Amino acid sequence: MSITGSVPGTDKRGIRELGGEEKVGWDEVTQGVAINSFIGETENAAFLKPEERSYSDFNSYTATVASWRIIKPVYNRDICIDCQNCWVWCPDTSIISRDKQMLGIDYDHCKGCGVCVEVCPTNPKSLLMFNEAADNDEELAGWPEKQKKEKK
Amino acid sequence: MAITSIKNLKEFSTNNDRFEGAHLLCPGCAHSMIVRELMNCTDDNLVISSNTGCLEVSTAVYPYTSWDTSWIHIGFENAATAVTGAEAMYKARKRKGTLKDPDAPVKFVAFGGDGSTYDIGFQWLSGAMERGHDFTYICLDNENYANTGGQRSSATPVGATTSTAQAGTHSYGKKEKKKDIVSIMAAHGSPYVAQLAPNKWKIMAKGFQKALETEGPCFINTVSACTTEWKFDPKDTIHITDLATDSLMFPIYEIIDGHELNILYRPKNVLKVEDYLGAQGRYRHLFKPENKHVIEQIQKDIDKNWELLQRREEVRI
């Protein structure tokens, strides 16, 4: 069993094993492997905002799952109260929130589950789900009006 | 320990996520909500190990990793053993003075699904608890082997249909009761044991921080609604968890030092268990007239358990 530390960026082993450049036999596949999330000296990521980090190609931040989506959330800044409910319950780390402010949605990592829309407390909701092919600006122009409370 | 503020959600949201997106968990999966919350609870370095399960296979799909911390996976059963090994090594190197940065705070955390906690990894977990390492074990309880197609586990509750305990003309699904893992772990003499749910984010964050702060082996059972096997719409994850905690199917409580039980959340309006069962596809067959008695039995068990928890809170045993 070989455990290899890899140099991110130069290591193409992953691509080869997945059948890209050159196929390997079943008994030639690396059995154990250590992969680095960041390039170079690793710091505690808790103190770095995502834009300050040096992600390596092995980090799934550099990948995308946008093709999973058939519906997408659209964000309306005018109604949002920055409660951060969507941030705490987003399963895909796709709500971009900086300095207590909600900035928008990370469409590379959003899978379109719709949890953020369900937990949004404003009236009308500041996040709504639309068809993936819809145009964000058009939908924002036709945002629903405030609904009156029917019961009570 | 560098605890992050959980006074309100705005302060909590200033934390930088260390669990990256583009992992391959199902849309709406509660696993990643729980993992994100744990990693946002503290600024310390984390050493995490995972049992095989949904979380492990979806967050480390070669050549990608979703973890911005140290993370290891070895086998189905040994997250607890792997992380306690790392902890023993850390202590030894600290004593010998061979650590590069001996003052940097490090926390050790293990994640396991219910299959690897209740069944397959139980012996390993029990051993790690007994040895008294300083780590926190978090069970992501989605009540079946969701990674392999929804087989029954000993966490599956009575009446649920799974791929190996199917409901049909002769059966109403699983007949055996769910294991009470929280009491079992408390009986190990663990300093902090709790059952928490992601819909009550503040209670959960407080519990996580308490477990990380507490020295010794801590165990936390978290309810993780599974959209695929519980059969509900992905957007309803938080709603289903609300129903679970408000119908007392999953009471939220902690046990300190094996005897001091505190109920952390008392629902204002306790819901009937029908509301929780009816919201999920895996219990649909229970609403047939011939299975009425099963729902009545489930409700009776829940009431009995809630009564027991309240009594235990009073008398502290």
Preferred mutation among B16, B33, B54, B206 to probe A, highest tally of A CBs within 10 A: B16
From B68's Cα to the closest Cα of chain A, the distance in A is 6
Do strands A32-34 and A3-5 pair parallel, antiparallel, or not at all (unpaired)? parallel
Give the number of C-alpha atoms closer than 13 A to the C-alpha of residue B96, restricted to the C-beta side: 9
| pLDDT tens-digit map of A103-139 | 999 999 999 999 999 999 998 999 999 999 999 999 9
| pLDDT tens-digit map of A28-48 | 666 777 888 898 877 788 888
Domain ranges of chain B: 9-315
Q: In whole angstroms, how large is the CA radius of gyration of chain A? A: 21
Quote the pLDDT of residue B3: 76
In this structure, is the dihedral angle defined by the CA atoms of residues B234, B206, B269 and B286, taken in order, positive or negative? positive
Among the listed residues A87, A90, A116, the one whose alpha carbon sits nearest the alpha carbon of residue A102? A87
| pLDDT tens-digit map of A59-73 | 999 999 999 999 999
Domains by residue range for chain A, with CATH: 1-63 (no CATH), 66-141 (3.30.70.20)
- Determine contact: B17 vs chain A, CB below 8 A: yes
From A130's Cα to the closest Cα of chain B, the distance in A is 14
d(CA B206, CA B313): 19
Among the listed residues B37, B32, B33, B48, the one whose alpha carbon sits nearest the alpha carbon of residue B4? B37
Among the listed residues B187, B204, B84, the one whose alpha carbon sits nearest the alpha carbon of residue B140? B204
pLDDT tier at A20, thresholds 50, 70, 90: low
Q: What is the pTM (predicted TM-score) of this model?
A: 0.90
Among the listed residues B295, B275, B298, the one whose alpha carbon sits nearest the alpha carbon of residue B286? B295
From B173's Cα to the closest Cα of chain A, the distance in A is 29
Quote the pLDDT of residue A9: 44
Beta bridge partners of B48: B71, B109
d(CA A78, CA A15): 44
Please report residues of A whose CB lies closer than 8 A to that of B33.
Answer: 88-91
Q: Pseudo-torsion of CA B303, B243, B226, A108, nearest 10°?
A: -160
Average pLDDT score over residue span A134-150: 87
For the record, the structure tokens of B24 come out as 């391959």
**Separation in Å, CA B177 to CA A149, B112, B153, B158, B184:** 43, 21, 11, 5, 15
Preferred mutation among A7, A38, A92 to probe B, highest tally of B CBs within 10 A: A92
- Determine contact: B106 vs chain A, CB below 8 A: no
Do strands B45-50 and B70-73 pair parallel, antiparallel, or not at all (unpaired)? parallel
CB B219 within 8 A of CB B179: no
Tell me yes or no: is domain B9-315 CATH 3.40.50.300. no
| pLDDT over 90 (residue A11) | no
pLDDT tier at A149, thresholds 50, 70, 90: confident
- pLDDT per residue of chain B (317 residues) written in tens, 0 to 9: 577 888 899 999 999 999 999 999 999 999 999 999 999 999 999 999 999 999 999 999 888 999 999 999 988 999 999 999 999 999 999 999 999 888 889 999 999 999 999 999 999 999 999 999 999 999 999 999 999 999 999 999 999 999 999 999 999 999 999 999 999 999 999 999 999 999 999 999 999 999 999 999 999 999 999 999 999 999 999 999 999 999 999 999 999 999 999 999 999 999 999 999 999 999 999 999 999 999 999 999 999 999 999 999 999 87
d(CA B316, CA A1): 51
| pLDDT over 90 (residue A88) | yes
CB A42 within 8 A of CB B18: no
CB B10 within 8 A of CB B52: no
Residue contact B20–A59, C-beta within 8 A: yes
Quote the pLDDT of residue B178: 94
Residues 124-183 of B with CB under 8 A from A: none
- Determine contact: B36 vs chain A, CB below 8 A: yes
d(CA B150, CA B165): 10
CB B315 within 8 A of CB B261: no
Amino acid residing at B288:
K
Average pLDDT score over residue span A5-26: 52
How far is the first Cα of chain B from the last one, in angstroms, to the nearest whole number?
30
Do strands B192-196 and B253-256 pair parallel, antiparallel, or not at all (unpaired)? antiparallel
| pLDDT over 70 (residue A6) | no
| pLDDT over 60 (residue A12) | no
What DSSP designation does A59 have? B
For the record, the structure tokens of A94 come out as 């796709």
